[in-house]
RNA sequence: GGGCGAUUAGCUCAGUGGGAGAGCGCUCCCUUCACACGGGAGAGGCCGCUGGUUCAAUCCCAGCAUCGCCUACCA
């Protein structure tokens, strides 16, 4: 007998097996012969710690990679992190602030040094947390976006795009975060609807009496107005085009101009134009001929500049707003103020309201790259799963705008551009002194000026620029490495829809551009994890569930399995801890099933079993054996199919259903008959139990790696496993079905359920042995029942079972009407006739309802004419069956009624 | 403004053009020799509303309602 704990305790077991796997190097594809299968992880940011999203994301990747590894693929999962420019810089700057320092006091080099220090201390946290949930990444290939190799890839890409004219520098309005003091791309701006005020301001005309009223949500920007625009077709205003206005508070004159984008129906139909601080105003200004002047009144820190006038200069933009409104009120120039709800852009990192600012920045001319990326999805060279996301992808890609890639921060890949201060010749001047180079130039390639005359661009690149190269830079590009040849394109990218544009689209563009092939075949987009009420988890709301606490409370296996079971749900996953608890019970169930089997095995039994196992499919197996093997085959088939279609929940549920409700509830109970006997059959049964357990564990291993390994190791010596770990054992795929066994089992189960029905409803204690009489409706059923009486006796706790074709229902029996058979339980006067009649009537009522529906259909000529034949046949069979059952129920009820009368 | 998604048992959600499902919760019976983190039985649903297509609609189409998300230069 083998001793196993009564319940599963993951403590210690998880660490033990993770260490074992990594020591053995199972997570590395090196030395494996199979076809390659690769995934690159969506690199988490080094400032973060593992949250539910990461957990879900990596659980799914791990399920896929473990599954493929077991199927014999040369499976590689590349882990890594990204440097998260703004976020990381923010963290370290906060640290400095505590010390009364800032990065400018420290200087660039020393600051960068500090950030690396921080990174080595805290940046690896998330990688360690991934190990806790069992992620089978190849840690020997772990990458960081600022690694030397990946940095080289970044410079290579920048230089090549620049040389092809796809990267350029321009001075135009960009989204500026006044707190981070950097430019942001359009995607890094989050729009949120907020309650604001629409202020109507009177602008007096300069050259005649009258005024134009403009409406604005940002009164402070009036200080930077350089025109008022109206629609040239607007009868109210068109005569005023060309007139001048006296701009209040600023002592300047502005022209009234015409622009067709002005909506006459909105506000007053007249718009103040602030080209330096509003995107649409910038566009209006540029459409005018000559262009309207640009007057910058807000600076990089969000404070008013000297251009705003002495009264306002230096004020914060929001304080200035108050002052401007107060001043205008005093001057009697406010017409009215209305409440107005509108959407405002915020910095995605620090939530500060964005200020559009005109600054020189680097851009990627994205349209040519986007075109290829659109085609790749259209041609199905890349499959997006679920494909409903394709539309979102297309609509963004088709309306894509140039990508601002420069950031005014220090932590990141410094832009590989130098400016020649001397510009000694015409060529250098023609190039604006710009030098773009992979390596630091020793002198100006245009004019030969010496290195001291060259000043490198201060800015760094958007972090997503390096992330976009991730699928090939992690594999060694720009070098032509073996890894790159073997594993690119990767097979699937698993990610949330929130970074479809940020990351997925950009990887596709860069992969196609620089590798000449897609970066991955499939993109599997999963839902985002929310709390049980559907709220986004966030620290400020305090509704964050820590995955590591889940692992601590329920074990990594139960937690992972929950994530898989949740995975199919649309855009949101409402995470509920109750379900994790439920799956912990499942782990325990599995544990105890294994415990049961092991308790019935002795060390001497190994040899007996091993020869039994080798020919487990022989026909000396019992019906139950053949049935469970067929169910196992069906489960394996469903699991593989579901996984190949990324239906993680279906796969998880198939296994759950099989192990708990078929293997444990039915098969193990049936096996006891044989196991507790002393017959030869015992060894067949034990072999079959072991075989099914072994296969169940292997099916489950990608979902629950730890407990399956622990259990598998305990049965290993009995099952003649060649491998030393379940992680590298084979995954069950195609096993033989046995339809005959499944069919026969159906009637046995019906008989057992029939008896249990009556017991349950009559509140007969499970301890009480009952007599049962089963009437079969044809000889075949009778035969099946007679051959397998032992199962019925055991599972229904029936002491005496009679089976026959022409049995009479004993007096005072409760009845259960089943498919092709009826079960009678003689209750010797204890039967509550009244209650039994009620029970049967209830059942009859259900059948009557179905019968009504089915009858209607079969009387409908259109149905008979137009419905497919198999449906009609099915419907007829159903009808016949219902009629039969109904008659049988009726007979039963009538007999009971007669009896009732007699008893009276 | 444009787009997408959701609405199914008390709760969280699967699902399918042809007899409504799971987990949890609830009710009842049971500490039977793997497991009470267990076993058995049961109750509970005009599948959001209104039309249309169809022999047949919870499923397809249109509209409406409610909620959510994405996207956008309406000041």
DSSP per position, A794-835: HHTTEEEEEEESSPPPPTTEEEEEETTEEEEEE-TT---HHH
* Contact between A9 and A47 (Cβ < 8 Å): no
For nucleotide B15, the protein residue with its alpha carbon nearest to C1' is A650
Closest CA to A91 of A124, A114, A125: A114
- Spell A344-369 as b/e; 16+ CB within 10 A means b: ebbbbbeeebbbbbbbebbbbebeeb
pLDDT at A541: 64
pLDDT at A266: 85
* Contact between A702 and A66 (Cβ < 8 Å): yes
Per-residue pLDDT at A778 exceeds 60: yes
Per-residue pLDDT at A566 exceeds 90: no
Backbone angles phi, psi at A876, to 5 degrees: -65, -45
Q: Out of A72-81, A305-314, A500-509, A756-765, which region has the weakest mean confidence (pLDDT)?
A: A756-765
Question: What are the C-alpha distances in Å from A863 to residues A824, A851, A854, A866?
Answer: 39, 16, 11, 5
A803: β partners:
A774
Backbone angles phi, psi at A231, to 5 degrees: -75, 130
pLDDT at A1: 43
Provide mean pLDDT across the span A571-593: 87
Omega before A290 cis (within 30°)?
A: yes
Residue at token pair 């593989």: A640
CA of A857 to C1' of B56 (A): 8
Per-residue pLDDT at A789 exceeds 90: yes
Per-residue pLDDT at A318 exceeds 80: yes
Rounded CA gap, A398 and A733, in Å?
Answer: 42
- Residue with more model confidence, A94 or A615: A94
Rounded CA gap, A83 and A467, in Å?
Answer: 9
Q: Out of A344-358, A634-648, A698-712, A826-840, which region has the weakest mean confidence (pLDDT)?
A: A826-840
Rounded CA gap, A17 and A269, in Å?
Answer: 71
**Angle at the Cα of A730 from the Cα atoms of A729 and A732, rounded to 5 degrees:** 135
Binned at pLDDT 50, 70 and 90, residue A724 comes out as very high
Rounded CA gap, A91 and A119, in Å?
Answer: 11
Residue A697: count of CB within 10 angstroms of its CB = 24
CB-based burial of residue A576 (10 Å sphere; 0-12 exposed, 13-18 middle, 19+ buried)? middle
Closest CA to A362 of A458, A430, A452: A458
pLDDT at A859: 87
* Contact between A187 and A501 (Cβ < 8 Å): yes
**Angle at the Cα of A225 from the Cα atoms of A224 and A231, rounded to 5 degrees:** 155
Per-residue pLDDT at A386 exceeds 90: no
Per-residue pLDDT at A904 exceeds 60: no
Per-residue pLDDT at A526 exceeds 70: yes
Provide mean pLDDT across the span A147-169: 95
- Which helix (H) or strand (E) is A43 found in, with range? none
Binned at pLDDT 50, 70 and 90, residue A538 comes out as low
pLDDT at A540: 62
Rounded CA gap, A699 and A716, in Å?
Answer: 16
Rounded CA gap, A582 and A562, in Å?
Answer: 9
* Contact between A799 and A729 (Cβ < 8 Å): no
Nucleotides of B under 7 A from a protein CB: 3-6, 12-15, 18-19, 22-24, 28-43, 54-56, 68-75
Backbone angles phi, psi at A586, to 5 degrees: -65, -45
The β-bridge relationship of strands A798-804 and A770-776 is parallel
CA of A846 to C1' of B51 (A): 31
For nucleotide B43, the protein residue with its alpha carbon nearest to C1' is A761
- Spell A182-193 as b/e; 16+ CB within 10 A means b: bbbbebbbeeee
- C-beta pairs of A117-120 under 8 Å, 24+ apart in sequence: A118/A88, A118/A91, A118/A92, A119/A46, A119/A83, A119/A88
Closest C1' nucleotide to A763's CA: B29
Per-residue pLDDT at A710 exceeds 50: yes
CA of A674 to C1' of B31 (A): 25
pLDDT at A82: 93
For nucleotide B32, the protein residue with its alpha carbon nearest to C1' is A767
For nucleotide B56, the protein residue with its alpha carbon nearest to C1' is A863
Provide mean pLDDT across the span A738-764: 90
Closest C1' nucleotide to A653's CA: B22
| Residues listed for chain A | 904
Rounded CA gap, A356 and A775, in Å?
Answer: 84
- Spell A793-817 as b/e; 16+ CB within 10 A means b: bbbbbbeebebeeeeebeebbbbbb
Per-residue pLDDT at A639 exceeds 80: yes
Closest C1' nucleotide to A282's CA: B73
Per-residue pLDDT at A888 exceeds 90: no
Q: What SS3 class is residue A518?
A: coil
Closest C1' nucleotide to A657's CA: B22
CA of A341 to C1' of B37 (A): 52
CA of A155 to C1' of B73 (A): 33
Cite the beta strand spans of A462-568 per DSSP E: 490-496, 520-526, 528-530
Give Dmax (Cα) for chain A: 123
* Contact between A878 and A902 (Cβ < 8 Å): no
Per-residue pLDDT at A542 exceeds 70: no
pLDDT at A763: 82
CA of A596 to C1' of B38 (A): 14
**DSSP of A340-379, one letter per residue?**
EEEEEEEETTT-PBPEEEEEEEEEE--HHHHHHHHHHHHT
* Contact between A754 and A634 (Cβ < 8 Å): no
CA of A462 to C1' of B68 (A): 31
Rounded CA gap, A791 and A522, in Å?
Answer: 48
Closest C1' nucleotide to A342's CA: B74
For nucleotide B39, the protein residue with its alpha carbon nearest to C1' is A665
A877: Cβ contacts below 8 Å, ≥ 6 apart = none
Closest CA to A651 of A631, A635, A668: A635
A801: β partners:
A772
CA of A291 to C1' of B4 (A): 40
Per-residue pLDDT at A133 exceeds 70: yes
Radius of gyration of chain A (CA): 37
CA of A712 to C1' of B14 (A): 31
pLDDT at A534: 63
What is the tens place of the pLDDT at every residue in A668-706? Answer: 999 998 888 877 788 889 989 999 999 999 999 999 999
Arithmetic mean of pLDDT over chain A: 89
Per-residue pLDDT at A729 exceeds 70: yes
For nucleotide B38, the protein residue with its alpha carbon nearest to C1' is A589
A442 CA to centre of own chain: 48
Backbone angles phi, psi at A45, to 5 degrees: -85, 140
Is the alpha carbon torsion for A712, A718, A719, A722 positive or negative?
A: positive
Binned at pLDDT 50, 70 and 90, residue A656 comes out as very high
* Contact between A390 and A166 (Cβ < 8 Å): no
Per-residue pLDDT at A79 exceeds 90: yes
CA of A864 to C1' of B53 (A): 19
CA of A572 to C1' of B5 (A): 10
Closest C1' nucleotide to A860's CA: B55
Tokens of A790: 């032992």
Closest CA to A605 of A673, A689, A729: A689
* Contact between A51 and A537 (Cβ < 8 Å): yes
């Amino acid at each position: 007998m083998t001793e196993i704990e009564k319940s599963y305790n993951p403590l210690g077991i998880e660490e033990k097996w993770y260490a074992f796997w990594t020591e053995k190097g199972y997570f590395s594809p090196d030395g494996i012969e199979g076809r390659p299968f690769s995934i690159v992880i969506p690199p988490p940011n080094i400032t973060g710690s593992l949250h539910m999203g990461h957990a879900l994301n990596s659980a799914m990747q791990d399920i896929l990679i473990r599954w493929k590894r077991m199927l014999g693929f040369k499976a590689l999962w590349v882990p890594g992190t990204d440097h998260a420019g703004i976020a990381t810089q923010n963290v370290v700057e906060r640290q400095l602030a505590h010390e009364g320092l800032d990065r400018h006091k420290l200087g660039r080099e020393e600051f960068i040094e500090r950030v690396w220090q921080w990174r080595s201390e805290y940046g690896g946290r998330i990688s360690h947390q991934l190990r806790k949930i069992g992620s089978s990444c190849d840690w020997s290939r772990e990458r960081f976006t600022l690694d030397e190799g990946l940095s080289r890839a970044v410079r290579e890409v920048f230089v090549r795009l620049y040389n092809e004219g796809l990267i350029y520098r321009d001075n135009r309005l960009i989204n500026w975060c006044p707190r981070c003091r950097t430019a942001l791309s359009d995607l890094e701006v989050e729009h949120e609807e907020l309650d604001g005020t629409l202020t109507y301001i009177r602008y007096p005309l300069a050259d005649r009496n009258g005024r134009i009223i403009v409406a604005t949500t940002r009164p402070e920007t009036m200080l930077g107005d350089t025109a008022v625009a109206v629609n040239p077709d607007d009868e109210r205003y068109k005569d005023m085009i060309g007139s001048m206005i006296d701009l209040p508070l600023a002592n300047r004159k502005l022209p009234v101009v015409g622009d067709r984008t002005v909506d006459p129906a909105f506000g007053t139909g007249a718009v103040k134009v602030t080209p330096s601080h509003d995107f649409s105003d910038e566009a209006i200004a540029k459409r005018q001929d000559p262009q309207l002047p640009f007057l910058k009144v807000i600076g990089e820190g969000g404070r008013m500049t000297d251009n705003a006038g002495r009264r306002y200069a230096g004020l914060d933009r929001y304080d200035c707003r108050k002052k401007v409104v107060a001043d205008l009120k005093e001057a009697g120039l406010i017409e009215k103020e209305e409440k107005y709800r509108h959407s405002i852009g915020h910095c995605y990192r620090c939530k500060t309201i964005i200020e559009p600012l005109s600054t020189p920045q680097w851009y990627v001319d994205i349209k040519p790259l986007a075109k290829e990326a659109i085609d790749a999805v259209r041609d199905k060279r890349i499959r997006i799963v679920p494909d409903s996301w394709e539309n979102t992808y297309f609509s963004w890609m088709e309306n894509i705008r140039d990508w601002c890639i420069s950031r005014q921060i220090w932590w990141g890949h410094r832009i590989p551009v130098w400016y020649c201060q001397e510009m000694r010749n015409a060529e250098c001047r023609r190039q604006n002194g710009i030098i773009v180079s992979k390596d630091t130039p020793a002198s100006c390639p245009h004019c030969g000026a010496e290195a001291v005359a060259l000043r490198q661009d201060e800015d760094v690149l958007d972090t997503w620029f390096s992330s976009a190269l991730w699928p090939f830079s992690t594999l060694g590009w720009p070098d032509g490495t073996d890894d790159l040849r073997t594993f690119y394109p990767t097979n699937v990218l698993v990610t949330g829809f929130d970074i479809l544009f940020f990351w997925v689209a950009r990887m596709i563009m860069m992969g196609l551009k620089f590798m000449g092939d897609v970066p991955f075949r499939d993109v599997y987009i999963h839902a985002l994890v929310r709390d049980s009420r559907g709220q986004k988890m966030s620290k400020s709301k305090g509704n964050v569930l820590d995955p590591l606490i889940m692992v601590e409370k329920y074990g990594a296996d139960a937690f992972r399995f929950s994530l898989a079971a949740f995975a199919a749900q649309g855009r949101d996953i409402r995470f509920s801890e109750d379900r994790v608890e439920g799956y912990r019970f499942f782990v325990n169930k599995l544990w105890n099933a294994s415990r049961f089997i092991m308790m019935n095995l002795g060390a001497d039994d190994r040899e007996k079993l091993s020869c039994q196992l080798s020919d487990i499919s022989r026909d000396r197996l019992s019906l139950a054996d053949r049935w469970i093997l067929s169910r196992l085959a069906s489960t394996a088939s469903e699991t593989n199919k579901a996984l190949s279609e990324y239906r993680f929940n279906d796969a998880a549920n198939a296994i759950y259903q099989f192990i708990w409700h078929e293997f444990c509830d039915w098969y193990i109970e049936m096996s006891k008959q044989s196991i507790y006997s002393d017959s030869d059959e015992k060894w067949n049964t034990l072999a079959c139990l072991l075989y099914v357990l072994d296969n169940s564990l292997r099916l489950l291993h990608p979902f629950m790696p730890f407990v399956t390994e622990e259990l598998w190791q305990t049965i290993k010596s009995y099952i003649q496993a060649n491998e030393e770990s379940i992680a590298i054992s084979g995954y069950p795929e195609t096993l033989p079905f046995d339809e005959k066994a499944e069919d026969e089992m159906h009637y046995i189960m019906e008989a057992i359920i029939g008896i249990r029905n009556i017991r349950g409803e009559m509140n007969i204690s499970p301890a009480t042995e009952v007599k049962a009489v089963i009437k079969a409706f044809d000889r075949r059923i009778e035969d099946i029942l007679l051959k397998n009486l032992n199962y019925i006796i055991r599972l229904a706790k029936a002491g005496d079972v009679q089976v026959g074709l022409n049995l009479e229902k004993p007096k005072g029996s409760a009845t259960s009407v089943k498919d092709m058979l009826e079960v009678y339980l003689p209750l010797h006067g204890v039967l509550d006739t009244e209650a039994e009649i009620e029970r049967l009537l209830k059942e009859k009522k259900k059948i009557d309802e179905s019968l009504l529906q089915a009858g209607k259909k079969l009387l409908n000529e259109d149905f008979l004419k137009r419905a497919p034949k198999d449906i009609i046949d099915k419907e007829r069979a159903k009808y016949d069956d219902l009629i039969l059952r109904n008659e049988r129920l009726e007979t039963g009820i009538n007999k009971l009624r007669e009896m009732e009368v007699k008893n009276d």
